Amino acid sequence: MLITKQDFRRVSDYLWELPTSFHPQMKVPVWLFADDELLEDALGDLSVTQAVNVACLPGLVGHVVVMPDVHQGYGMPIGGVMAAKVPGGIISPGAVGYDINCGVRVLASQIDYPSAKPHLSELASALYRNCPSGVGEKGSVPLSLAELDEVCRKGAKWALEQDYAQPEDLARTEEFGCLVGADPEQASKRAKDRGRGQVGTLGAGNHFLEVDVVEEVADPDAAAIMGLQEGCLAIQIHCGSRGFGHQICTDYVQDFQLAVIKYGIHLPDRELVCAPIDSPEGQSYLGAMKAAANYAFANRQVLAWHTRRSFEEVFGVKQAHLRQVYDIAHNMAKIETHQVDGKEMTLCVHRKGATRAFGPGFAGLPEDYRPIGQPVLVPGSMGTESWVLLGTELSDRLSFGSSCHGAGRVMSRARAKREVRGDRLRHELEKGGINVRAGSMPGLAEEAPQAYKDVSRVVNVVSQAGIARKVARLRPVAVVKG
Amino acid sequence: MFFKVLDTIDANLMKSSDSLPLAGFEEVDHTADWAYRVWGRDMRELFVEAAVALYAIAGVALTDADPVIRTVQLNGVDYESLLVAWLNELLYLNESEGLGFRQFDIQQLDAHHLQAQITGAPVQQWTKFIKAMTYHNLAIKPSDRGLEATLVMDV
């Protein structure tokens, strides 16, 4: 399917529409947030073709949203949002992806960079030592099957009960760290076998733990409420539901191959397999997905606890207070209410490589965040900047309350490995003042900054389009990877 | 563009042909994940080569411990679903039990069932983490190399 710039209608400087007339099977149009350059990037791989495939699914409303950090995935593009009617629409495990509730947590400190600088190497080593990462690494919190079920039901609340959390951490987490309705009975024993030894692990691939400096504050009032202070350290934790979520998605993508036959659903790509949301199959997946989402909230919470004790080891207990800014998912399906064509509708919003970005007044925020809106955390590539944004009211109408989730890849992992040597990259990063601790040099090379888009350009698009607004820019000073 | 469930593939393709090249695989570029094209002279060879490729791409080394033998039994709606289930089974055996495999004896294979005896050992090294094998645009197709498929992995 050849798609060119000429196939789009330019809605505004930062929004493009691919109408349903583009393909006879499209049920809804595709809305792509991009400037001219990022549109060209999106057309450089199969991202938009995959978005067209998504737009062919039954039961969708409004439009398929494509974020400026989009890149080709498997089924749904990474950086895609789709919304299905509830009831009457579908839910798709493939459109959520294997790393259910992969997400980002940001913690803020009051340790200023000049004081911290002589200790950053020691801090990076402590984080690498205390936060298990890499292929096959087991966690520090082995669980019985009954305990794992508790994690699935309670999410970050389980971590609070086990003293891995502070009450404010939960208040400052999407859904307060616990999706209601999680049903561990709908997760297979295989999923539990994979997941029970992995709570409190970072994993490998693009997951990371990063220490940053708050380099620039665009909205001082909002930054102060969040606890972000210019010139001080902040921490990002990026990981998800580990083998537990991977196996749940694997199981349901396999099972739903039969469900699509049963319900007569025609698919453009079998990875987009789905079932009616009100069917037994759809409800079963929703319960299992929520269990994995809660597992991921607990996982990031335990990693935050490891991060805090690493800071205490290096800076002492008094200095090391880390306040949670927010924790947000970027691979999830959620039942939400949004405005569609002026009407309020209940929808199953699938976000794959996209974050929720609700504006001021949203009741699901802690009291201090309600006037400013929900924080949106946008990690950049390793070695470049990251951003903390806020959701807007406009995002409800334009993007089902969603925004971008990162920089977005432009170079394949294979090419990055061909063109970049991990040891040289590490040397370059360290020369630039970034302490690197990585278990795998080829793995480091795959995540080289040149493999990603310019995150500031991505953030500029969502900001100009009005679906998020800038609060603070972060610059990395230490990176830990598996 | 839209898939339909294929439960029959030309019976001739289920038989080996000596005139075809040997089974093999090659990596295919993908922006975010890993993909590989695999081929075999018949369906069984395609399944075995897909498993060999998985371990090669993941950079797996096995220990010299006593061999571990497992029987794998899978059901599916067609060959593609069995191929995905087969490779995901191997990923599961690694993550749950730390096992890798080097010999694959496919004892039964039709459009809905697979039975195989696989022989391997505990994994010494697994370099490249793979979350899952996906169905993305997956179709087993006849080619001048016998049967061919392109598999995309989430990494």
The DSSP 8-state label assigned to residue A45 in this structure reads S
Reply yes or no on whether the pLDDT at A296 is more than 70. yes
Closest residue to A243, CB basis, from B95, B135, B138:
B95
DSSP reduced 3-state for A163 = coil
Task: Report which listed range, A19-23, A194-198, A201-205, is most confident.
Answer: A19-23
What is the Cα–Cα distance from A337 to A348, expressed in whole angstroms? 9
ipTM: 0.90
pLDDT of the residue at A152: 98
- Of B30, B33, B27, B34, nearest to A44 by C-alpha is B30
What is the Cα–Cα distance from B41 to B18, expressed in whole angstroms? 8
Say if B16 is an interface residue toward chain A (CB within 8 Å): no
Say if residue A185 is in the same domain as residue A277.
yes
φ/ψ (deg, to 5) at B147: -120, 145
Between chain A and chain B, how many beta carbons pairs sit less than 8 Å apart? 121
Domain limits of chain B? 25-154
Q: Please measure the distance between the N-terminal and C-terminal CA atoms of chain B and give it in whole angstroms.
A: 26
Domain range for residue A427?
Answer: 411-450
Say if residue A294 is in the same domain as residue A169.
yes
The DSSP 8-state label assigned to residue B21 in this structure reads P
From A412, which residue of chain B is nearest by alpha-carbon distance? Answer: B31
| Nearest-10 Cα torsion for A166, A435, A78, A471 | 60
Chosen from A54, A412, A441 to mutate, greatest number of chain B CBs within 10 A: A412
Say if B84 is an interface residue toward chain A (CB within 8 Å): yes
What is the Cα–Cα distance from A363 to A181, expressed in whole angstroms? 19
pLDDT of the residue at A414: 83
Tell me which residues of chain A, numbers 349 to 368, contact chain B at a CB-CB cutoff of 8 Å: none
Are A126 and A348 contacting, i.e. CB atoms less than 8 angstroms apart? Answer: no
Type and span of the H or E element at A276: strand A275-276
Report the pLDDT averaged over residues A279-299: 98
Question: A261–B77: do the CB atoms touch at under 8 Å?
Answer: yes
Say if residue A404 is in the same domain as residue A425.
no
Check residues B9 and A348 and name the one with the higher pLDDT: A348
CB-based contacts of A268, cutoff 8 Å, min separation 6? A25, A52, A53, A56, B1, B2, B3
Say if A415 is an interface residue toward chain B (CB within 8 Å): yes
From B4, which residue of chain A is nearest by alpha-carbon distance? Answer: A266
Say if residue A342 is in the same domain as residue A210.
yes
φ/ψ region of A314 (left if φ > 0, alpha if ψ in -120 to 50, else beta) reads alpha
For the domain made up of B25-154, the CATH class stated in words is alpha beta
Report the pLDDT averaged over residues B104-117: 97
pLDDT of the residue at B4: 38
Say if residue A311 is in the same domain as residue A430.
no
Say if B112 is an interface residue toward chain A (CB within 8 Å): no
Say if residue A320 is in the same domain as residue A446.
no
Say if residue A178 is in the same domain as residue A294.
yes
Question: B96–A482: do the CB atoms touch at under 8 Å?
Answer: no
pLDDT of the residue at B17: 60
What does the DSSP assignment read for A69-97? EEEEEESEEEEEEEEEETTTSEE-HHHH-
Say if B110 is an interface residue toward chain A (CB within 8 Å): no
φ/ψ (deg, to 5) at A433: 90, 20
pLDDT of the residue at B16: 52
Say if B67 is an interface residue toward chain A (CB within 8 Å): no
pLDDT tens, A369-395? 999 999 999 999 888 999 999 999 999
Say if residue A341 is in the same domain as residue A425.
no
| Nearest-10 Cα torsion for A73, A77, A80, A81 | -100
What is the Cα–Cα distance from A242 to A302, expressed in whole angstroms? 13
- The mean pLDDT value of chain B amounts to 89
φ/ψ (deg, to 5) at B11: -55, -30
CA distance B3 to chain A (A): 6
pLDDT of the residue at B21: 81
From B1, which residue of chain A is nearest by alpha-carbon distance? Answer: A268
Q: Residues of chain B with pLDDT > 70: what percent?
A: 88
Closest residue to A98, CB basis, from B95, B126, B154:
B154
Question: A94–B85: do the CB atoms touch at under 8 Å?
Answer: no
Q: Residues of chain A with pLDDT > 90: what percent?
A: 88
Are A70 and A405 contacting, i.e. CB atoms less than 8 angstroms apart? Answer: no
pLDDT tens, A128-179? 999 988 777 777 788 999 999 999 999 999 999 999 999 999 999 999 999 9
Say if B152 is an interface residue toward chain A (CB within 8 Å): yes
CA separation (Å) from B133 to B35, B80, B88, B123? Answer: 9, 11, 6, 19
What is the Cα–Cα distance from A434 to A438, expressed in whole angstroms? 12
- Of A379, A333, A372, A339, nearest to A356 by C-alpha is A333
Are A214 and A230 contacting, i.e. CB atoms less than 8 angstroms apart? Answer: yes
pLDDT of the residue at A139: 78
CA separation (Å) from A35 to A13, A41, A65, A76, A459? Answer: 7, 10, 15, 21, 11
Report chain B residues whose CB lies below 8 A from the CB of A418.
none
Report chain B residues whose CB lies below 8 A from the CB of A97.
154
Say if residue A313 is in the same domain as residue A430.
no
Chosen from A135, A137, A208, A405 to mutate, greatest number of chain B CBs within 10 A: A135
Reply yes or no on whether the pLDDT at B144 is more than 90. yes
Chosen from B125, B129, B151 to mutate, greatest number of chain A CBs within 10 A: B129
Question: A204–B29: do the CB atoms touch at under 8 Å?
Answer: no
Say if residue A421 is in the same domain as residue A276.
no
At B31, is the pLDDT very low, low, confident or very high (cuts 50, 70, 90)?
Answer: confident
Residue A127 sits in a domain whose CATH number is 3.90.1860.10
Are A321 and A336 contacting, i.e. CB atoms less than 8 angstroms apart? Answer: no
Report the pLDDT averaged over residues A236-246: 97
Tell me which residues of chain A, numbers 33 to 62, contact chain B at a CB-CB cutoff of 8 Å: 45, 47
Say if residue A351 is in the same domain as residue A370.
yes
Reply yes or no on whether the pLDDT at A360 is more than 90. yes
DSSP reduced 3-state for A480 = strand
CB-based contacts of A115, cutoff 8 Å, min separation 6? none
List active site positions of A.
Answer: 405
Report chain A residues whose CB lies below 8 A from the CB of B34.
413-414
Reply yes or no on whether the pLDDT at A219 is more than 90. yes
Say if A439 is an interface residue toward chain B (CB within 8 Å): no
Question: B33–A74: do the CB atoms touch at under 8 Å?
Answer: yes
Q: What is the CA radius of gyration of chain B?
A: 15
pLDDT tens, A56-103? 999 999 999 999 999 999 999 999 999 999 999 999 999 999 999 999
How many structural domains does chain A have? 2
Reply yes or no on whether the pLDDT at B94 is more than 50. yes
CB-based contacts of A163, cutoff 8 Å, min separation 6? none
Question: For the whole model, what pTM was predicted?
Answer: 0.94
- The mean pLDDT value of chain A amounts to 95
pLDDT tens, B51-72? 999 999 999 999 999 999 999 9
What is the Cα–Cα distance from A402 to A106, expressed in whole angstroms? 18
